[in-house]
Amino acid sequence: MSFRKKLEDKITKKKEENREFEAKINAGKAYISGLQEALKLAPKEEDIGIRAKQLLRPGSFAFLAQRFLIQHGRPAHVADILTGINKANNKKNRTVISGALSTYVRDDKIFTRTGPNIFGLVEMEDSDFQSKEDIQEDTPQDEIIRLPIKQHGT
């Protein structure tokens, strides 16, 4: 085999190696792109410790009920929740709030049902649940709901 032919073979072989490396690089770039897309969907590390209250639309019945239950520190009847969030305790509002909270109960997210029309928070079962005293220290005073609670069924 001539010297020229040997050089041409080496060039061809090296071009083939380069194509293989380029294919691996392209696969690696696609993998990195997929990971970057997944990272966009993942919560930031400082958000991981924040409770589900940010998953609820501010001002919604569910959001207000969650704030009330955190401050109240234990499960409450829908009538008490409505009173605590300054909403009229009528059949329409009881139906609306029961339906809204029941959606989360069925998915086992945020709220639990501890009795007929009595709702609590899933996090209340956690040992690291912040008591109402802890919340009051961290919460601006104008956001704290302070109304007497009557007990239903007791």
**Is residue 76 located within the same domain as residue 124?**
yes
**Is residue 22 located within the same domain as residue 59?**
no
User: What is the average pLDDT across 95-107?
Assistant: 90
41 or 99, which is more confident: 99
Calculated CA dihedral for residues 60, 65, 70, 74, nearest 10 degrees: -170
pLDDT tens, position by position, 22-78:
999 999 999 888 888 888 877 665 544 444 445 788 888 888 999 999 898 889 999
**Distance from C-alpha of 130 to C-alpha of 63, rounded to nearest angstrom:** 17
Give the 3-state secondary structure of residue 131: coil
**Distance from C-alpha of 57 to C-alpha of 136, rounded to nearest angstrom:** 21
Using the predicted structure, report yes or no on whether residue 15 has a pLDDT greater than 50. Answer: yes
Angle CA 53–56–142, to nearest 5: 60
What pLDDT does residue 20 have?
Answer: 95
What pLDDT does residue 49 have?
Answer: 44
Q: What percent of the chain has pLDDT over 90?
A: 34
Using the predicted structure, report yes or no on whether residue 8 has a pLDDT greater than 70. Answer: yes
Q: What percent of the chain has pLDDT over 70?
A: 73
Q: For residue 148, is it within any domain?
A: no
**Is residue 80 located within the same domain as residue 24?**
no
**Is residue 85 located within the same domain as residue 106?**
yes
Using the predicted structure, report yes or no on whether residue 133 has a pLDDT greater than 50. Answer: no
**Is residue 35 located within the same domain as residue 86?**
no
What pLDDT does residue 141 have?
Answer: 47
Q: For residue 56, is it within any domain?
A: yes
**Distance from C-alpha of 122 to C-alpha of 143, rounded to nearest angstrom:** 22
What is the DSSP code (8-state) at residue 23?
H
What pLDDT does residue 11 have?
Answer: 95
What pLDDT does residue 135 have?
Answer: 46
Angle CA 57–122–114, to nearest 5: 110
CATH number at residue 86: 1.10.10
**Distance from C-alpha of 4 to C-alpha of 103, rounded to nearest angstrom:** 77
**Distance from C-alpha of 34 to C-alpha of 89, rounded to nearest angstrom:** 50
**Is residue 59 located within the same domain as residue 15?**
no
* Residue of 72, 44, 65 whose CA lies nearest to 130: 72
33 or 147, which is more confident: 33
- Domain enclosing residue 69, as ranges: 51-143
> What is the average pLDDT score of the chain?
79
Number of structural domains found in the chain: 2
**Is residue 79 located within the same domain as residue 106?**
yes
Q: For residue 15, is it within any domain?
A: yes
- Classify residue 153 as left (phi > 0), alpha (psi -120 to 50) or beta: left
**Is residue 33 located within the same domain as residue 108?**
no
Give the 3-state secondary structure of residue 147: coil
Rounded to two decimals, the pTM is: 0.50
**Is residue 117 located within the same domain as residue 58?**
yes
**Is residue 114 located within the same domain as residue 78?**
yes
**Is residue 62 located within the same domain as residue 128?**
yes
What pLDDT does residue 14 have?
Answer: 96
